[in-house]
Amino acid sequence: MFAHIEHGESIVRTLDWEQKLGTVARVHPVGEGRTTQPVAEYRKPATWTVKHQSVALEEHNLFHGTVAEAINDKGLSASVLYQEDSAPFVAQYEDTGSPAVNMADVVAYIVENYATVKEAMVAFENDAFQIAWNSELPEAGKHGLHFSAHDKSGDVMLIQLNEGGKVVIHHGDEDLRVMANEPLQQVHREYVAQFDMDDVNTANKIPSSISSKDRNLRLIWTTTNQKNWKGLNWRQTEAKLQSTFDAGALVPQEVIDPSYGGTYTTWVQYVYNLDTGSFKLRDLDTYTDIRFDMADIAKFDTPMCADLVAQASLYDRPVWEKCTN
């Protein structure tokens, strides 16, 4: 969930899965040489040198270091979410010959190379890089995923893979303030269009399931009708953002999605601000928090790591150490 508010552009995002997920923060300093994870199906693996001081939020419990979220010191962030409806199309995508980035690295690649959404979008459209849709995540097989980027000006884009291997970029649309999983964005929009967002009585018609399309609908509804963000300090603003997201999209343990027949518990939540660099992680397993500011990592000149979920039960601020892998 992306919010344009008095304190600047702010984001709330969660990691949801049947099994417990975690977060290791890895700082990538300016000047670090980088190579993408293997992209065997593509002619040219991407290599790059980090241009913007960044922190990548890696998931290691199940996804072997896939970067779920990344933020840089210019106020640009990027996200990846599961998109099962793209899975049938990954083999249909054709290699363009441009540098290919493994999907585990895409969000890190974007924030390490670009300062704004527009800059990243132009580079992508001009084949400065491509997403290796048909390559495996490290030790985790092939999956349907989709990617978004947001910057402190309020600009946003969503990149999705559609039928025939066609890449679709949604850019600047107001409803992109919410990013959910499947279905694809155009189907989400068809579903939301069935409800009148300006009618107070719509609240009585919105389904309560944990399905992605219903969580997307609830967040679109809530944020459409939530007008007053003025006069709040940052902690009040952060609390309002978090409670807004939690009421619409947080998934309690053991609740079943009837369309899927299983559950995907919310294990980890991020709340952060692209203007101030404030970042908070909340571990839903222990209900503990840990915070840092982008200014804290500004002077790191070597990759530094902190297991934020493990440390949330021990410290208020991360203990950064040199990365060992």
Q: H or E stretch including 70?
A: strand 66-72
Res. 1 pLDDT band, cuts 50 70 90: confident
Provide the token pair at 223: 């944020």
Q: H or E stretch including 222?
A: helix 212-224
Which CATH fold would you assign to the domain 2-178+262-322?
A: Penicillin V Acylase; Chain A (3.60.60)
Whether pLDDT at 5 is above 80: no
Res. 140 pLDDT band, cuts 50 70 90: confident
Task: Give pLDDT tens digits for 81-117.
Answer: 999 999 999 999 999 999 999 999 999 999 999 999 9
Q: What are the extents of the domains in the chain?
A: 2-178+262-322
Residue 201 has what pLDDT?
A: 92
**SS3 of 11, please?**
strand
Res. 159 pLDDT band, cuts 50 70 90: very high
pTM of the model: 0.96
CB atoms within 10 A of CB 255: 12
Task: Give pLDDT tens digits for 175-215.
Answer: 999 999 999 999 999 999 999 998 989 999 999 999 999 99
**SS3 of 164, please?**
helix
